[in-house]
Amino acid sequence: MDCSIDVFYEQTKGFSGHLNDKDNYKLVLVSSGSFVVEEDGEYKMISAPAGIVLNEKADFRLVSESNVKCDTICFKPTFIREEFTFEAIDSGRYDKFFSTVKGAEEMKWDEKMVAAVIGDVKFEDCFSGSLYQDYLLLSQFTSQDRNIRYWTLITQEYEVLNRFFKSVKYDIENQPDNFWILRIRYFINSILFTATADFYRAFRQYELFRDRFVAKVAMYLFENIADDITIAGLTRRFSVNKNVLNDAFYKETSMSCMAYLENMRMTLAKRYLQSSNLTISEISNLCGYRDHNYFSKVFKKHSGMSATEYQKQMKGMC
């Protein structure tokens, strides 16, 4: 795309061919479909709507995909702040933010992030400087142990991010006034904040598998979570008997296939109860339960309170 700044935008069926480029950061919003990727011998199954963050070292290994459509923003970190060259970031000169965390040298990256957020950092040394505030926005890219991060989105989260993505697209294509570059920086910063804040909201819901068969079944469960799924139906679809199916899931997840589905549905229900204005009946249907009383019984078993009580408690915390 012809543009005078270090940002370009693609809207594609399937994934962009630039995800493994070594001279850009990439933000991807997957609007439809599902896919499996391989990372360090494990398989991640992700269903849309979903987001992906990839740094310049990323090695995106697609195993399979089904009806994927996505939007991709590629940009250089210098677009956020001119000091943020790849060389400067790799040098560690901006890691002062993490050096104030007790025992940081023994922590994994996400542990450092959590320690920083809960207050084990000298505020005046880091947060008070705009340089470190801007660097924190890039933390999903600068992780020392992961070059790609995935997270799934509920409808409301997707809609917010989609507006930001489409706004970037519009301003790049039209450059309507003297402020279009400022707006693009604002929109990208807003997307980065969503990704950075995600780790403590615990909305990242991808699954890790070593068994491709389990990844394939899990993808089907994600894609059809609102449908009436039975063990008999699964064994017919995947041409496998009940014991083999459950043994595979026990090995990967320490639970049976249907228990895994129930747990996944309850996780989705909690996210809807936290972040939407849907009724309990609507959420029950979206999670695959036509009997709303049974949904309430299962939810209470998992959370210790009714769905209504949980919704009130979560809304009260927001």
Report CA torsion sign: 91, 95, 100, 105. negative
The SS3 of residue 58 is: coil
165-172: list long-range contacts, CB under 8 Å, 24+ apart: 165/9, 165/27, 165/29, 165/71, 165/73, 165/191, 166/71, 168/7, 168/9, 168/73, 169/9, 169/11, 169/71, 172/1, 172/3, 172/7, 172/8, 172/9
Q: With contact defined as beta carbons under 8 Å apart, do 68 and 31 qualify?
A: no
Q: Which stretch of DSSP H or E encloses residue 300?
A: helix 292-303
Is position 1 within any domain? no
65 sits in the region (left: phi over 0; alpha: psi -120 to 50; else beta) called beta
Number of domains in the chain: 3
118 in the same domain as 243 = no
Rg (CA), the chain: 21
Report CA torsion sign: 139, 142, 143, 147. positive
pLDDT computed for residue 198 by the predictor: 47
106-110: list long-range contacts, CB under 8 Å, 24+ apart: 108/145, 109/143, 109/144, 109/145, 109/146, 110/199
Of 101, 121, 137, the one marking the end of a domain is 137
Give the number of C-alpha atoms closer than 13 A to the C-alpha of residue 159, restricted to the C-beta side. Answer: 5
pLDDT computed for residue 141 by the predictor: 84
132 in the same domain as 69 = no
Structural domain including 121 reads 86-137
Domain CATH number, residue 225: 1.10.10.60
99 in the same domain as 18 = no
Q: Consecutive 10-residue runs of the chain (318 residues): their mean pLDDT?
A: 72 95 95 88 83 93 93 95 91 65 48 44 54 80 78 77 94 93 93 63 48 85 89 95 95 92 90 81 93 94 89 63
60 in the same domain as 180 = yes
Distance of CA 209 to the CA centre of its chain: 17
pLDDT computed for residue 163 by the predictor: 92
If you search the block for the tokens 């496998």, which residue do you land on?
Answer: 240
186 in the same domain as 244 = no
pLDDT computed for residue 239 by the predictor: 95
306 in the same domain as 231 = yes
pLDDT computed for residue 67 by the predictor: 93
Is position 173 within any domain? yes
